[in-house]
Structure 1
């Protein structure tokens, strides 16, 4: 029996994409990395071509990364994958599930509807309301609706310069997503799930001079052993999205744990460096099991 034809949607040359492609190759003997920027949809034929191959002929596609940078354009790439799915290709995670997470506001709304504790948050296009939010919070994190690894985020503190900083942010981000800046004691957590099952938790510890904990800003991974109730919170947070693989971003505050977001794609490096876990291999094994079922 021929090995299943499985492609990895990602960024060629990037560690996480190549690691997942290696894991798939180890099981199937075949290695296919697909850059969505090179895909062509022909609606007349229903084909979704990449470098001479129709992706609709694959048994499965695993989405590790849909684009280097998050933007509304990413949503269009996910729509293309819906064509393959409609023609019988298994896509991990489901494109519609990922769609609900690319936009930070869509993720937030789903989490709040599920009664998941989050930082105090306001969303507005009105500059005066944004100023009022900063005045209320004292210190606020302004976040683009489409970004990863804290890119484009900024902290604005109550004071004389706040109005000008808000105007500068709004010039690039008309819909302003504003969260109260909380004391996270220099770390937050990545809680890893495979097909809804809890795998492990790693901590992201910030560099001393940065306000955020991302590795992009110099943070480091560390091991972390969460209490059962924290695992249950993260499990409830990721459950509405039905993802094949994800990381839930959680932080401990003086008032209890809060959830920042659920990742559309999850992090392999944090699982490896913080937990000693080969999440790419586990995801590849899961996909093979599902395809064979």
Structure 2
């Protein structure tokens, strides 16, 4: 059986690099992408191509390049994403639109470019990396939650639309993992005169959660399990027990009681 060819967006660091490195060790041919390849001159975990999910022409180039080299493209892992925090009132709308461009529109752009090849092949896998935060509106992370929640719903729709072509689509929602996402987040400025006095404390708490997060290899192993599944589930979640348990609580508690639990957690 020929090796499967995988495209991992946002593959230069964090969860994406962990996924790519692990799949290479399991015999997959992996291509990762980054917006600026020059920043990683010594990268050798797998093949790295320059691509910006906000720019359709760069996506087309990468997809065409992989197909030209390998003759096929079996798996897309839509992992590229950005973090954003802030009170919604004080978050510049240009930053809100930018987060949606990367976290929601970006994965759709990439999926649209790989689907014709997968349809031609008669199959493939598309795995959209979302977030457990996408299942709830988190205070001061509302825009991030919205971008990931939107991708969860779009995943459900695309999955049904392409099922007849033998293409399998699902989402994988990680909780907090020890990556460099916190350093790359957009943080709305903390203003001393702001009425949102607790925002600064919440940012510090979010960064602490990431620093104490689990090893992203757990995400990579879940990806491998999905690729070895003939009929994947619609949604997968991976993370600490309490993060996954919070989704169960949301499904059984009243909205107001769940809101109270979140506010207590974030000390609001």
Asked whether the two chains share a fold, i.e. TM above 0.5, the reply is no
The structure richer in helix per residue is 2
Taking CA–CA contacts closer than 8 Å with sequence separation of 6 or more, which of the two structures ends up with the larger relative contact order?
2
The structure richer in strand per residue is 1
Give the shorter-chain TM-score range: 0.3 to 0.5
After TM superposition, the score normalised by the length of structure 1 is: 0.38
